Structure 1
Amino acid sequence: MFTPKYPPQDTAAAAAPAAAQVPAVQAPAPVVPAPVSQRPAIQLTPGTALALVGGGTAVVLVVGAVLVSMLLAVAITGMSVAVTAVVLRSLLNQQKGH
């Protein structure tokens, strides 16, 4: 079921090689040097590396602060909904008793 199905192999006989031909002499192709990139190579100085590390740290801290504040907002909303539900339940139970 999961084994591959291969097509049958060709059974035709290989064609006989043509009469031997003498290869024509070709001139060697001229050697072209590889193109040189026009962009300068990136060189990291200690100041640049420090700036990259500082920028990366700042991004991580900002994203972390945003995620924590979103989680805190969800937790506060959940607590307020729970308190509201308890108050409403208490009010409805008091009404049934009177």
Structure 2
Amino acid sequence: MNSKTNYDRASMLKDISERKQLIDEYRSTGYLNRENSIRKIQELRLTDSDVSAATSIRLATSRTPFAQATDEAIAAELQMQIDILSAKVGKLL
């Protein structure tokens, strides 16, 4: 693997880990750090073309503003991003 591939893989693994931590905290305590979760979601929507495409498809059928979204819906969005990133990391191996 070249250095860019290694960097991309490390970056995706970091993004996956951060999202898993947010979801795990929510599942174990019932508390979701909404501000941090929303920021993570928005950042990845802007920087990852696969996440952006998947989000566009979902937003075509449902447009709930983050302020009105349930904690469960935000956690589901984080999980969707984890799933997309995990698939991409798998392709890099």
TM score, norm. by length of structure 2: 0.31
More helix by share: 2
TM score, norm. by length of structure 1: 0.29
When Rg is computed on C-alpha atoms for both structures, the one with the higher figure is 1
